Chains A and B, each alone.
Chain A
Amino acid sequence: MIPEKLAQLDPIIHSRLRLAILSILISVKEANFNYLKNTIGTTDGNLSANLSKLEEAGYISIRKTFRGKKPLTTCSISEKGRKAFSAYLQALETYLHFKK
């Protein structure tokens, strides 16, 4: 693969927070908003904005329900998101292999 092409990583994933979100969601069946916030260590607003971006891209699905009277937001990675994350990882590994 040509090095210049390697540099064109998926811009949706190529963000620390969105990368963190997908790394977590790839490891679990589903995770709620608070779990993502506490595990990553970010603010509500930041997390919300980045989740929306990932949802718009079709990489995650978000389900909003209620537990008693409290709203509950649960996220899971989509098949498209898995493939995109896998491709992103592969691009990183291929880049490092090329550099060797």
Chain B
Amino acid sequence: MNESQAREEIRFIQEMIERTKRITAGSWMFFLIWGIVAILGVIGMYVLVYFEKYSWIWVNWIIFVAIGIVHSLVYGTKQERELGAKTYTQGVVGHLCLACGMAFMLVGFIFPALGLYSWGLIAVLISLIAGILVFVMGGIYEWNLLKWCGLIWWFGALGMVFIHENYRGLLFIPLMLVGYIMPALVLRSMYWRERDKNDP
């Protein structure tokens, strides 16, 4: 073996490892769906408030969250089959999403239902958890855009404190667009670009 052969082998190993990272970009759909689900949930909530159907607000959220969960399970299973490989990153991210999902449920439904705090605080706490989820995912994927999105969520949570609780949910929509939908679309373009590059 000579020096150039050794370098070529290391380069080849790196290239193979890079190809497995394409699996990561496939998670764009989860971001997109949850972003859309949350925005529709907020719009639905304000529509119900406008028509003074306050008791239906919980039903509105339960329906949209259920749609998100069902889609995540179905798409996750389908993606696993199509990709044909499981990465360690997927396992870690899966646990992170599950943990944050449980936190969303507790903060968004259980604790307010038990009267721990008023409904006006929900948006602040949800934004806080969303920031943790997105920021940590940025660290796992080594993707600075997601880390910035996490920071935006936290600043959004802080900003909500200075807004009347009746209107906090409205700030949720631009946060979702910037903090969930935008990275989803960037991830999607990365995913399709890698797919086209690797397909014969």
Do A and B associate with each other?
A: yes
Counting contact residues on chain B (CB < 8 A from A), the size range is 20 to 34
> In the complex, what residue of chain A is closest to B90 when comparing beta carbons?
A29
Residues of B within 8 A of A24 (CB): 16-17, 19-20, 85
B84 contact set on A, CB distance < 8 A: 31-32, 34-35, 38
Interface residues of chain A, those whose CB is within 8 Å of chain B, are 6-7, 9, 16, 19-20, 23-24, 26-32, 34-35, 38-41, 67, 89, 92-93, 95-96, 99
Q: Is B74 an interface residue (CB 8 A)?
A: no
Total A-B residue pairs with C-beta atoms closer than 8 Å? 70
Binds A, one of B7-15, B125-133, B154-162: B7-15
CB–CB B9/A19 < 8 A? yes
Which of A23, A35, A96 has the most chain B CB atoms closer than 10 A to its own CB? A23
Given A23-B17, A24-B19, A92-B9: A99 and B3 interface contact (C-beta under 8 Å) = yes
The answer for the CA separation of A24 and B10 in the assembled complex, in Å, is 13
The answer to whether A95 touches B1, judged by C-beta atoms less than 8 angstroms apart, is yes
Residues of chain A within 8 A (CB-CB) of B85 are 24, 28-32, 35
B115 at the interface (CB under 8 A from A): no
Checking A9, A28, A89, A93 against B20 with a beta-carbon cut-off of 8 angstroms, the contacting residue is: A28
Known: A7-B1, A9-B1, A39-B198. A89 touches B13 (CB 8 A): yes
